[in-house]
Amino acid sequence: MKRAIYPGSFDPITFGHLDIIKRASKLCDELIIGVLNNKQKNPLFSIDERVSMISELTENLDNVKVECFEGLLVDFAKKKDAQVIIRGLRAVTDFENEIQLAQSNKVQYPELETLFMTTSLKYSYLSSTVAKEFASYGGDISLFVPPQVIPLIEAKFNNKEK
Ligand code: PNS
């Protein structure tokens, strides 16, 4: 059984993430979307909100599960008995961080492989940060995030203004 983890902050999930999830789910028996509950960061969405959004958007993918994790990714991978980490690569600017993450994880847990998937060209500029930046100024984010996510982001920024 090939079990892979696609880890990230997903604050919030974008079309780019969904594209990787759909493609990665075809490459393994089970794909766990590992949503990082990072207490040091100050995410726009709570961990429960992020897990719930992703679960709704992936409910049609039978071999995809959504779980949150805290602490080290290698420990989460060991706990889940996962052999593969999936990461999306958009452009060369992602490479430096990603290679460091993959290699440090490899040193810590040599049995764990990191597979990089190239982001589809149409999402190569896209990130959660871009979506939040546009939303914070009332911009159109319909090309960035699924329709279900739009009112949730808008509500966050409307509440901040009050
Ligand atoms: O979506 P992101 O924020 O780019 O995802 C980064 C993530 C969650 C994959 C990475 O920060 C991570 O694995 N964090 C868990 C802590 C960890 O294992 N750190 C050691 C690697 S430097």
47 alpha carbon to ligand 1 midpoint, in Å? 15
Instruction: Provide DSSP, 62-98.
Output: TTEEEEEE-S-HHHHHHHHT--EEEEEE-SHHHHHHH
Q: What mean pLDDT do residues 106-132 have?
A: 96
State whether the beta carbon of 88 lies less than 6 angstroms from ligand 1: no
State whether the beta carbon of 73 lies less than 6 angstroms from ligand 1: yes
Token digits for 63? Answer: 């071999």
Provide the pLDDT confidence category of residue 91 given band limits of 50, 70 and 90: confident
Check residue 161 and give its pLDDT.
64
Evaluate whether 34 touches 5 at the Cβ level (below 8 Å): yes
Longest dimension (CA), the chain: 50
- Going by the DSSP 8-state scheme, the letter that residue 34 receives in this structure is E
Phi then psi for 87, rounded to 5 degrees? -135, 145
The minimum-distance atom of ligand 1 relative to the CA of 85 is 9
8 alpha carbon to ligand 1 midpoint, in Å? 6
- 110: helix, strand or coil: coil
Q: Specify the CATH class of 3-124 in words.
A: alpha beta
9 alpha carbon to ligand 1 midpoint, in Å? 8
128 is catalytic: yes
17 is catalytic: yes
Residue 98: is its pLDDT beyond 70?
A: yes
50 is catalytic: no
Least reliable range by pLDDT among 37-41, 77-81, 98-102: 37-41
The minimum-distance atom of ligand 1 relative to the CA of 7 is 9
Provide the pLDDT confidence category of residue 93 given band limits of 50, 70 and 90: confident
Residue 39: is its pLDDT beyond 90?
A: no
Residue 162: is its pLDDT beyond 80?
A: no
Average pLDDT, the chain: 95
- 3-8 vs 84-89, strand pairing mode: parallel
pLDDT tens for each residue of 45-54: 999 999 999 9
Residue 90: is its pLDDT beyond 80?
A: yes
46 is catalytic: no
- Closest C-alpha to 78, from 115, 37, 38, 32: 32
Residue 82: is its pLDDT beyond 90?
A: yes
In angstroms, the CA 12 to CA 19 distance is: 14
